[in-house]
Amino acid sequence: MANSCSNLILWVTCLILAVCWAKQSTQSKKNALNDDNFDQNRIKSFYTSDHRKISVYNNFLLSSSVFLIRNYLSIYGQWEHSLEDYSNGSHFGEESPDHIMWKTFLNPEFIEKTRFGKKIIRAVNHFKEQQDGDGYHIYDATAKLIRRIDIPKSTIDAPDSEGDVSAILYLIGSWKKNDYGDILFYDDNKEIVGAVHPLMHRMIMFDSSIEHLYKPPAIDNGVAMKTLQIKLTKSVKKVKNAVQHWKLRSQNRIVGRKTTLSKLTTSTSNVIDVEKYITKRYVGPHGRKIFVLDNLFNENDLEKLRKIVKYKRYVFTDRFDEGSDGVSWVATFSLQDFIDSHLWDIHQQVAKHVGNRTTYFPYDVSCNLVQTSDKTRLHDDCAQVADQWTMVTYLNPNWTAQSGGETAFFERKGNDNEYITEVRPRYGRSVIFQGMIYHSARPPANGYNGIRYSFAVKMAEDEAQARVNRVTEDFSTYAANVEQVSSAIKIGYKMGEERTERIAFRSIVGSASASKSKEKEEEEDDEPSRRNVKGNQDWSEDDNENFENQPMQDPEYERELEQYRNPHKEIEKTSNKVAAKKRQELIDSIDRVRSNDKAMAKIQNDFERQINNLLQKLSGTLSKYL
């Protein structure tokens, strides 16, 4: 009986302790989320000669907040260049007097309702030292992406008479002093009042009338500096006008994105005499071919294509896997939309003319944006055993030879290598080449301030192969999005908890470290060169034999060919249960209908819709926790 009572007392004591610990943990979490610590976190203030102020706050945001904001910007997918014309890097729109090229304009009403938005408004009261600090509202929230070689200009956010306040949040990971990227603040006499270095979790607050300048990252720093700049005012009219302007801008973007290739390119389809448009031909080792075509597309098609790419959803990355092309900005098109368009009719006729099949079919349709700050890389578009073609069309009017941006073709991978040729961009020029040829899109010359645009279409041997290629490549996007949903829920639900903040911090810092690995040179390929004695001479009928058509009994070749034909079997495994289940479903479904064009089309189109729906779900999930 005594033992039973002792056990009961012990059990009750443990239960009480557990409840107390849970309450303490919950209270600690609430304190972490709500404790501003503005006095402690403000590390310095600068003043202009007329006593306007700049204050620097460290540890303003939790790691979980930075993690969620960064992911929201990535999934939100509204990065847009601020040029009036992407061919002219000196003509910026009215909303970009700072000449920062890439921005995301966020809904100020939404940002004001977020945790960090509310904290910024509270910080204004501290910044104003309780003097007239109430009544401020957010009227502008703009994410900015600054890269090396960018040339920002100094600007002010509002006249002094309006009494507005600005804040800049750093959304970066690890950042060193030699990475540069400082923000300079100027007095009216153009002398520097103060300089602030980028730092994770840091916030700068200043009177909006103070002139300031974003400095770009160092030339050897391939990582973009991301910030979120918030503007606040007491003017109800200013807030109302800003919200209306944002809604109009957002609506224009939605309408623009709904415009499809099939709707824009309405030219009548005709049989094309492809041969008359071919202006240059090259042959590399093993008879691999490159064709240059001029004036293939009419002016109407080109202009319509230029308009549609303006509103595309551009995805940015400064993290690159081995074998990637190193292009930071890419917009992808719906495969079915392209197939239904007049553009596919032209591409199809060209592929049939230069290739050995009548069944070539697209699996990757995209617009690539390359800037001077990019470090593009040598790569191939497909397995060396494949019979694929890639067709690239250049979209920049008034491009000159001095603008650079050539597409360079090489005999093989590695440093012990020779050029097959380089093709210079011209407006409307296309180059079609076999996908296994190693190539690289060169960045524009240093004197060119705009963006190099190109429309790229990759084509596989037949529709079934193209569809399975597309599904396989899309799965990595799907798996990443599923993992982001899972991480957002875990981190968002447990914001402020010590373990959660450690996980978020490691994720952000790890992401930055991985990005910097881009700058490492690729390992040298020691394989001896196998040069074709004909080099890059003009086309000869003697060179018609393709490497792919030569009899090959090599077991390694057969293994590579099998892997190429069934890439879905090599889809990378994932520890996420939802993604792992979808992976197995795709493998099983494709195995059943691998050679059926119609069935593969249904699988691919359905999966594309699932990915788009998942993006919307992720955006909503992230919004809830911001």
469-517 per-position pLDDT tens digit: 999 999 988 888 888 888 888 888 888 899 989 988 888 887 655 555 4
The Cα–Cα gap between 584 and 414 comes to 36
The answer to whether the CB of 472 falls within 8 A of the CB of 606 is no
Task: List the structure tokens of 3.
Answer: 């033992």
186 and 60 within one domain: yes
267 and 396 within one domain: yes
Lowest-confidence pick of 73-87, 93-107, 337-351, 366-380: 73-87
The stretches of 1-105 forming alpha helices (DSSP H) are 2-34, 38-41, 63-76
The answer to whether the CB of 412 falls within 8 A of the CB of 438 is yes
In this structure, is residue 17 part of a structural domain?
Answer: no
Of 109, 103, 230, 110, residue with least CA distance to 165:
230
| pLDDT for the residue numbered 546 | 42
Rounded to the nearest 10°, the torsion over CA 382, 384, 389, 390 is: 50
| pLDDT for the residue numbered 221 | 86
Q: Which amino acid is at 413?
A: K
The Cα–Cα gap between 268 and 261 comes to 14
65 and 196 within one domain: yes
The Cα–Cα gap between 226 and 513 comes to 15
**What separation in angstroms does the CA of 404 have from each of 86, 294, 418, 620?**
15, 18, 19, 42
The Cα–Cα gap between 624 and 503 comes to 20
Instruction: Answer with the one of 461, 491, 508 that is the final residue of a domain.
Output: 461
| pLDDT for the residue numbered 550 | 45
247 and 169 within one domain: yes
| pLDDT for the residue numbered 463 | 94
Tokens 């109407």 map to which residue?
300
Indicate which CATH number applies to the domain containing 440: 2.60.120.620
Compute the average pLDDT of residues 458-462: 95
The pLDDT tens digits of the residues spanning 166-208 come to 999 999 988 998 999 999 999 999 999 999 999 999 999 999 9
In this structure, is residue 66 part of a structural domain?
Answer: yes
In this structure, is residue 544 part of a structural domain?
Answer: no
174 and 111 within one domain: yes
Q: What's the pTM value of the predicted model, to 2 decimals?
A: 0.84
154 and 294 within one domain: no
Instruction: Answer with the one of 257, 278, 309 that is the final residue of a domain.
Output: 257
Tokens 């809604």 map to which residue?
247
The pLDDT tens digits of the residues spanning 558-572 come to 888 888 888 888 888
| pLDDT for the residue numbered 233 | 96
The answer to whether the CB of 173 falls within 8 A of the CB of 217 is no
182 and 82 within one domain: yes
558: domain range? 465-516+553-626
| pLDDT for the residue numbered 614 | 83
The Cα–Cα gap between 553 and 275 comes to 35
| pLDDT for the residue numbered 359 | 94
The Cα–Cα gap between 500 and 596 comes to 47
Task: List the structure tokens of 296.
Answer: 């293939």
Q: pLDDT band for position 27 (50/70/90)?
A: very low
**What separation in angstroms does the CA of 557 have from each of 287, 395, 562, 563?**
18, 38, 9, 10
Task: List the structure tokens of 77.
Answer: 């997918």
Q: What are residue 419's DSSP bridge partners?
A: 410
| pLDDT for the residue numbered 257 | 80
pLDDT at 409 over 80: yes
In this structure, is residue 311 part of a structural domain?
Answer: yes
Residue 252, SS3?
A: helix
429 and 372 within one domain: yes
| pLDDT for the residue numbered 539 | 38
Instruction: Answer with the one of 199, 225, 257 that is the final residue of a domain.
Output: 257
Report CA 260 to chain centroid distance, whole Å: 21
- Does 303 or 47 have the greater pLDDT score? 47
What domain count does the chain have? 3
The Cα–Cα gap between 188 and 207 comes to 13
Mean pLDDT of the chain: 83
| pLDDT for the residue numbered 538 | 40
Local structure of residue 488 (DSSP, 8 states) = H
Helix or strand (DSSP H, E) at 450: none
In this structure, is residue 5 part of a structural domain?
Answer: no
Tokens 């190429």 map to which residue?
564
- Does 620 or 529 have the greater pLDDT score? 620
- Does 449 or 245 have the greater pLDDT score? 245
Strands, DSSP E only, in 395-546? 407-410, 419-423, 430-434, 438-441, 452-460
% of the chain with per-residue pLDDT over 70: 83
In this structure, is residue 526 part of a structural domain?
Answer: no
372 and 225 within one domain: no
Residue 148, SS3?
A: coil
The answer to whether the CB of 196 falls within 8 A of the CB of 167 is no
